[in-house]
Every structure is written in C-alpha cells, then in structure tokens.
Amino acid sequence: MLRLAGGRDIISEASILFNSTDKRIVSIKIAFKLFASLTDYLPPDRKGNVVSLDIDPATTVAELIRTFRIPEMSAHLVLVNGVYVPPAKRAQTQLADGDELAIWPPIAGG
Amino acid sequence: MAWTRKILRVNLTEGSCKEEALNMQWANEYLGSRGLASKYLISEIDPKVDPLSPENKMIMATGPLTGTMASTGGRYTVVTKGPLTGAIACSNSGGFFGAEMKFAGWDMIIFEGKSPKPVYLFIENEKAELRDASHLWGKSCWETEETIKSQHQDPQIRISSIGLAGENQVLYACVVNDLHRAAGRSGVGAVMGSKNLKAVAIRGTRGVGNVKDFPAFMKATSDAKKVLHDNAVTGQGLPKYGTQVLMNVINEIGALPTRNHRDVQFEDASKISAEAMHEKRESDGKPHLVTNAACFGCTIACGRISEIDKGHFTVKNSPKYWGASGGLEYEAAWALGAANGVGDLEALQYANLICNEQGMDPISFGATVGAAMELYEMGILTSEMIGIESPFGSAEALAKMVEMTAVGEGFGKELGMGSKRLCTKYGHPELSMSVKGQEFPAYDSRGIQGMGLAYATSNRGACHLRGYTVASEVLGIPVKTDPLTTDGKPELVKAFQDATAVFDSAGICVFTSFAWTLADVQPQIEAACEGDWSMDKLNEVGERIWNMERQFNNAAGFTHKDDNLPPRLTTEPAKTGPAKGLVNGLDKMLPEYYKVRGWTPEGQPTPETVSRLGL
C-alpha cells in the first residue's frame, strides 16, 4: 500500500509498495509533484502540487508513474531532484529517501 | 504574393505621408516583417545615429502571412535602432493591429524625422494623414485607445500607442496595441516618443486578397492548423496554462533567476505560477485567471486574462484596475516576481497592469528593480533616495517603483534608465544583469548553458526570443538535450537563431515552433508568396537576416567583447539545484559559435560568409 506521509491511504492496489508501518521493509519518504494538467492525478484534497509519500526503497520512477495511473505519453518531463530522467531510464531509476520527483505533461512557454 | 507591395513613408518633420512601391528584390531576399524592415532601416540610417534623434527611423512592418488564414498570422514588428542598447531593435507584437495594417493595404510604415508637436497617424485604407495629438499627450495607452475610438466613432479601429513611459523616454518603453499586447523590448516606445508620435490608428477593410495560389494556401494553412491542434503543447498546454506553466519547471531545474541572479531557485515560485493562477484565492474565493485569449488568427490562444483581487493593497482604492485584463505571462511574472524576490501574485499583476497601461517592458523594468533592490541591500541606495524601504521581496517597493517609473517621478527617472546605467551610476556596473544593455529574461544560463550563448550573441541584447534553446535543453522540443553541458550548443543556438528569423519575418508567432518546424511553415509561404520558397531558401534567408543584423551592430560599434555575460554568471557558481557549482561556459562555446557562423575570431562575418549570403 502507498500512503501519504502521515498515514492516510491513497492507493491500495500497488502491491509493490508498502506502508510505513509495515515491518518487513523500512519505507522512505519522497516529495511527489505533479504539475499542469497532471495536477488532477494528485489526491483531491492536495495542497498545492506536492504530496509527501512513504514508499518502498526499491520503488522506481516508472512504478510510481504507473501507480498514479499517469498516461505514459503525459509523463513527458520527468525530473528527479531537478534532473531529467529519460523514458528509457525510468524503469531502472530507483528513488532515494528525500528525493523529489516532479512530472509535467508536454508543455512550453516563453 | 501576400505582400501588398506598398509602403507608407511618413516624414514627421514635414508632416507628409507618401506611398512607395515595396522593393520586391529585397522582399525576395528578406521575406518581410523583421527581415525586410531591418533591410530598409539599415539601408537608410547611419549605424552610429543617436537612437533618440530625428535622424533615427522607426518602421512598423507586417510579414507576407500577416492578416492571412495562416494560424497566428497577426504579427507585426517595430524595427529601429534601440535606445536601451544602441543595437538594432526589433520588437514583435500580436493582437490585431498588424492584420489591420495589412487590411488597409500596407506592408510597412516608415517613420522618419520628428514632428514639431504631438501627432498621431490615422490610416483608413489608402488614406493616411497625421493629426494633432495634443489632447492625447499625457494620456496612457488605454486612454489613448479609448479616446481615438470615441473620437472617430469607430470601435473597430486598431491602435498602437505609447503611454507616459514612451513620452518620457523610459529607455525600455514599449509600443502597446490592443490594450495589452506590446512590441515590448529594447525601448522602441522611447523612439516613438522622441518623434512626438503618440499613436498609429488604422482601419482597414480590404482584406488580403493577393495570395499566390489560394487553394494550395488553404490546404497548407489547414494542414498546419491540424498540427497545432493535435500537438499536446499548442493544442492543450498553452491554451490552458499559458506561458506561465514554465515557472515551476524552470525553478525545479534550478534556472529561475532570483533576487538579481543571486540565486537560481525561488522559494515562492509556486505562489506565482500558472497553477497558482488557477487556484481560488482565500480572500474572495475567485481564481486569478479569468480566461485565455487569442491574437488575430491564432489557433493556440495562450494569452492570459486575469482579474486582480479588489481588496489587495495595490488596487483597493483604484477601481479602474478591477476589471479583467491582460496577464500574467511568464516573463512578466518572473521579472516582477522572482527577479525581485516578490512572491505576491496580486502585486505582480498590479505592476504588470501599470506596464501595459503606460507602455513599459516588464522584463527590463522588473530586472532593473532587482538591481536597485540589490544596491539597497548593499547600502548604496537608501530608502530616502528611493522613497521607500526596498529590500528584496517587498511588494510595496515594487508597487511604488512601478508607479514612479511609469510617470517619471522621483527615483523612477533613474529606474527608467535601465539596470546598466543605474548600476554604473552607483559604481557597480557588474550588478546589471544584462547583455549589450538589455536585461535578461527568465532563464539563468548557469542552469541552461545554451541560453548563455544565445543571450551573449543576441542581436538585440539579452533576449530569449532570438534563440530559444530552452525548448530543446529543458522541454525536449524538438529533441531533448542536456541543459548542463556546453557540448553541441553553438550549433543548436545557430539553428534556433536562423529559424526564428524566418518565423518572425513571415508574420507568424514563434510559439508555433513548439509544434511546427520550418517544414510546416514552408508550404504556407510557398503558396502565399510569388517566387521560389524552398526549405533551402528559407534556411538561407534566416541566416542572411541574422548576419545582416550583426553587420549593423558591428558598424554601430559593437565588437566580440560585447558578446559577453555579467561576471556573476561566469564566476559565481549556482548555489542550489542541478546546476549547483556550475557557471556558464560561454568561453567554451563562443569561439566554436563564431566558426559555425562563418565569422572571424573577432566576431565579424568573413568575406566568404558575406558573399555566400549575398550581403
């Protein structure tokens, strides 16, 4: 189970992930940020564009994208601590305690 | 031929308006708008002319696609020698004014001399005359537009005008059309003010009926619109979130210049972002953003229309600002916000409204405020000198400074000189975050290396719209490159610079390039314009325009030493984020860029390059 930091369940089907009270695996805490139209994939009572998550230390970027049901094509700009993670590396990129994962759909401006 | 083949030459000294034939050989070599108007300007003025003297000229120009069915085909350009930089100035605007100029039958208006008294130019199709503007002098852009429309009893007249900033020759004054669109950068409004030209008012009813191959043009424009519609950026992202969607991204990657570039990340970025504009305010339960908006012929509609919080300290006693109006766009939100450490969205919109009302470039204004706040924090400027305590982050100081600068009162006169002159006056020229005297836009080149080269070599001083490598380095358009490396950036910068010159000269918006490549633009130009307009030719035209602008700047006295960045960006490493520890690697990129351009190590186009491009 994936939990918001503080213990409230938000997604129950992700068997790869464990909550912070599960004694088998010590969880890590990350900041998960979704922007622009992806904001809708965050819990409805979110504050701003960020939620704090307790996750399994082995969790990859790709797993988290799937868990939140973000369409693959919409996860265009994926940054871990501000550094771009290309699509080919998302399945191998594991998150570490204190990481910030931020995702945008295709966007531009000027 | 989508050109009307007609130029209007307005001699303000004599008070005359004369029709001339467009030089079609030049149109064939420089396309229109930015390229063609620059060719005319450079051919007619001394490059060393004082920008604010009667000997300087100012040209308003459309492109061959302006006023046509091409998506975003509403652009026009103001070209002159810029007072902020002393370099060529070329500022581009949307709205509806450009298309109206075309509908009236004019490709271009050349203003020369100086009127002995304030005037405005009134055009009704082929009729053009200068009229007394003594009743308009001293009025804002908004009042000027309303007064002219009321006076002529015609709400469909389209108007470009200057406000008090242009009259007072604030060196970054802009020319505002349709209330909140502007030829914004490099001080083109100050040149207009120096000529005692208050406004240009146009009513055109002729349409654009001279497209070369109309069926082919309809197909080409229709195909291209589908590309914009189907693209996630131009079809969905920009209409909903506007350019402001960049605020959080650029902050996240550590390239959001903050507090006069002391920092590269702003702790309050999320409070002034596109997402924040969608949120309901605690004060009145309404979101800041009211709707999006489109310029003439645009199928993207990235513009923001917002409503300020009526209870905010800046406007609670000023109902004229309570209605829905233009802004905030990303560049203005950054310059008025992060650049000064101000995280109050309503205060930023207030400053933005004043910039629109009185005709000031919010980028250069905001960046100059950032420099003033740094001088204040260093103890060089005091609250007595400025008129208010001015630490970084003070929304009150921002509001006071925009009011003072717009009307030219007190310390506002000094802010109106721009950051280079301000910082030099107070003994710290290195604190001006500018290139060739023009302030940086919203990307820190320590976190986006290619932009350092784009800024240093931009022909109109620091600018993001001359070579927007952010698209590739950050946003992955058309391909993702690494923003933290200098490798490959000289070639990337040149490619963006040359292609952008074509988009600008065609009369379309450069934002189409988030979905279109030149291959999408080429069939539209080919169908509209007589002559051969192959991809090879368009690439050559873009390169020719870039080199022509460069030659003008060289003749005006600029050298390779001016292709530089402030020492803060090349010696003070970024403190946080992915670029932590990095400075901009301009010294690695610039020599390679000169080679790629076919220039000498001193930044001069070689004789071979000049010959190849027919310059």
pLDDT tens figures, B482-523: 999 999 999 999 999 999 999 999 999 999 999 999 999 999
User: Predicted confidence band at A12 (pLDDT cuts at 50, 70, 90)?
Assistant: very low
Determine which of B252, B302, B443, B516 to mutate to test the interface with A (most A C-beta atoms within 10 Å): B252
Residues of chain A in contact with residue B474, where contact means CB-CB under 8 angstroms, are 77
A86 contacts in B (CB within 8 Å)?
Answer: 480
**Is B471's pLDDT higher than 70?**
yes
Q: Which CATH number fits domain B449-612: 3.40.605.10, 1.10.599.10, 1.10.10.10, 3.40.1160.10?
A: 1.10.599.10
For B280, phi and psi rounded to 5 degrees? -75, 135
CATH of residue A57's domain is 3.10.20.30
**Confidence class for position B569, pLDDT limits 50, 70, 90:** very high
Chain A residue closest in CA terms to B271: A48
Interface of B with A in 234-253 (CB under 8 A): 234, 236-238, 240-246, 248-249, 252-253
Query: Beta partners for B339?
Result: none
- Please give the radius of gyration of chain B, using alpha carbons only, rounded to the nearest integer: 22
pLDDT reading at B417 higher than 60: yes
Q: Distance, in angstroms, between A82 CA and closest chain B CA?
A: 4
Mutate to test the interface with B, among A41, A72, A107 (most CBs of B within 10 A): A107
Judged by CB atoms closer than 8 Å, whether chains meet at B578 and A105 is answered as no
Tell which of B265, B275, B444 to mutate to test the A interface (max A CBs under 10 Å): B275
Give the best residue of B75, B248, B444 to mutate against chain A (max A CB count within 10 A): B248
- pTM here is 0.96
Taking the domains of chain B in order of start, what are their residue ranges? 449-612
Judge whether B478 is closer than 8 Å to chain A, CB to CB: no
Query: Inter-chain contact A82–B577, Cβ cutoff 8 Å?
Result: yes
Residues 6+ apart with CB under 8 A from A27: A18, A19, A20, A54, A55, A56, A57
pLDDT, mean of residues B218-226: 98
Among residues B4, B181, B160, the alpha carbon closest in space to that of B95 is found at B181
Query: A110 with B243: CB under 8 angstroms?
Result: yes
Peptide bond into B328 cis (omega under 30): yes
Minimum-distance CB partner of B475 among A36, A49, A77: A77
Of B236, B252, B511, the CB nearest to A102: B252
Specify the residue for token string 């207009």. B192
Report chain B's mean pLDDT, rounded to a whole number.
97
Residues in B closer than 8 angstroms to A39, CB to CB, are 275
- Summarised one tens digit per residue, pLDDT across range A48-65 is 899 999 999 999 999 999
Minimal CA–CA distance to B84: which of B190, B192, B196, B193?
A: B190
Average pLDDT over residues B280-294: 95
Confidence tier at B562 by pLDDT (50, 70, 90)? very high
DSSP string, B200-263: EEEE--S-----SSHHHHHHHHHHHHHHHHHSHIIIIIHHHH-GGGHHHHHHHTT---BTTTTB
Give per-residue pLDDT as tens, B313-357: 999 999 999 999 999 999 999 999 999 999 999 999 999 999 999
Hey, is the C-beta of B332 within 8 angstroms of any chain A C-beta? no
Average pLDDT (B10-14) is 98
pLDDT at B556 over 70: yes
Query: Angle, to 10 degrees, between the axis of helix B449-457 and the axis of helix B586-597?
Result: 60
Phi, psi of B552 (to 5 degrees): -60, -45
What's the rounded Cα separation, in Å, for the pair B345 and B348?
Answer: 5
Residues in chain B with CB shorter than 8 Å from the CB of A47 are none
In a domain, residue A109? The reply is no
Look at B248 and A35 and tell me if their CB atoms are within 8 Å.
yes
A-B contacts at Cβ under 8 angstroms = 95
The whole-angstrom distance between A108's CA and the closest CA on chain B is 6
- With an 8 Å Cβ cutoff, is B280 touching chain A? no
Q: Which residues in chain A touch residue B272, judged by CB atoms under 8 angstroms apart?
A: none
What single-letter DSSP state applies at residue B32? Answer: S
Question: What is the per-residue pLDDT for A47?
Answer: 78
Tell me the angle at which helices B489-506 and B449-457 cross, rounded to the nearest 10 degrees: 50
| Predicted local distance difference test score (pLDDT) of residue B77 | 98
- Which of A49, A81, A107 shows the shortest C-beta gap to B237? A107
pLDDT reported for residue B209: 80
Mean pLDDT within B589-608:
98
pLDDT mean over B234-243: 96
DSSP state of B97: H
Q: Is there a domain that residue A74 lies in? A: yes
pLDDT for residue B507: 98
State residue A4's pLDDT score: 55
pLDDT at A13: 37
Yes or no, beta carbons of B248 and A84 under 8 Å apart = no
Contact (CB<8Å) A107/B249: yes
Does residue A1 surpass a pLDDT of 60?
A: no
pLDDT over threshold 60, residue A22: no
Q: Which residue of B has its CA nearest to A74?
A: B232
Please name the member of B236, B237, B275 whose beta carbon is closest to the beta carbon of A39: B275
Judging contacts by C-beta atoms under 8 Å, the chain B residues touching residue A77 are: 249, 474-476
Determine, yes or no, domain membership for A58: yes
Structural domains in chain A (count): 1
Q: State mean pLDDT over B125-147.
A: 98
| pLDDT (0 to 100) of residue B429 | 98
What's chain A's average pLDDT? 84
Nearest chain A residue to B577, by CA? A82
The residue range of the domain holding A49 is 2-104
Question: A23 to chain B, minimum CA–CA distance in Å?
Answer: 34
Are the CB atoms for B19 and B8 separated by under 8 Å?
yes
Question: Can you give the pLDDT at residue A57?
Answer: 93
Which SS3 state, helix, strand or coil, does residue B344 take? Answer: coil
Cβ contact (<8 Å) for B236 and A105?
yes
**Residue A45 scores a pLDDT above 80:** no
Contact call for B237 and A37, based on CB within 8 A: yes
3-state SS, B571-585, equals HCCECCCCCECCCCC
pLDDT for A26: 82
